[in-house]
Amino acid sequence: MTDFDFSDQISWEIPHLQRYAYSLTGNADRAQDLVQDCCERALNNAHRFTPGTNLRAWLFTILRNLNIDEGRRKVRRGHHQSIDDVQSETSQPPRQEDYMALRELERRLAMLRRTDHDILMKSVFGNWSHEAIAQQQGIAVGTVKSRLSRARQSLAG
């Protein structure tokens, strides 16, 4: 029997192998992988097949043993989780740009006039109204708005 005849005979058995593999795994993708592994192993071990015997039974035995081996391998190895599944949980964007932006903001805040700085801090972080800042500083509301605008422009660069 030539290699071509043997591979041709195996190809006739593929639909049967696929059904059997699916019955073992319950998963179409895994069954397809199992059939491919079975065909590869059968072709590599063609010299061990006895012509005239039941090829389908021989292939089913290879397929069943491959499935058992895979099951044992999974038990030994434990649960396998793809790195792609957990990458979003473990990865973080680089912080250099944020760090540099904060350093630039600190630098610009330090360059503000003290009165503009105080008004900005009370308005933005203290959530004070313009009227409350004006009353506390003893200045007009328009002056508060003007200093706040100037401070924001200085920070924007």
| Structural domains of the chain, with CATH | 3-78 (1.10.1740.10), 109-156 (1.10.10.10)
Q: Residue 107 carries which DSSP code?
A: H
pLDDT band at 155 (very low <50, low <70, confident <90, very high): confident
If you average pLDDT over residues 3-26, what whole number do you get? 90
Q: Which of the pair, 23 or 105, is modelled with greater confidence?
A: 23
Q: In the predicted model, is pLDDT for residue 1 greater than 80? A: no
Give the residue, 86 or 147, on which the prediction is more confident: 147
> Which 8-state DSSP code applies to residue 145?
H
Question: Which amino acid is it at 127?
Answer: N
Q: According to the per-residue pLDDT averaged within each range, which of 71-85, 87-101, 141-155 is highest?
A: 141-155
Distance in angstroms (rounded) separating the CA atoms of residues 65 and 38: 9
Q: What's the pLDDT score for residue 87?
A: 66
Label residue 88 by pLDDT band (50, 70, 90).
low
CA distances from 15 to 27, 58, 60, 126 (A): 15, 15, 12, 73
pTM over 0.75: no
Closest CA to 156 of 110, 111, 105, 97: 105
> Cα Rg for the chain, rounded, in angstroms?
37
- At residue 90 the predicted structure's pLDDT band, cuts being 50, 70 and 90, is low
Predicted confidence (pLDDT) per residue in 26-67, tens digit: 999 999 999 999 999 999 999 999 988 999 999 999 999 999
Which SS3 state, helix, strand or coil, does residue 52 take? coil
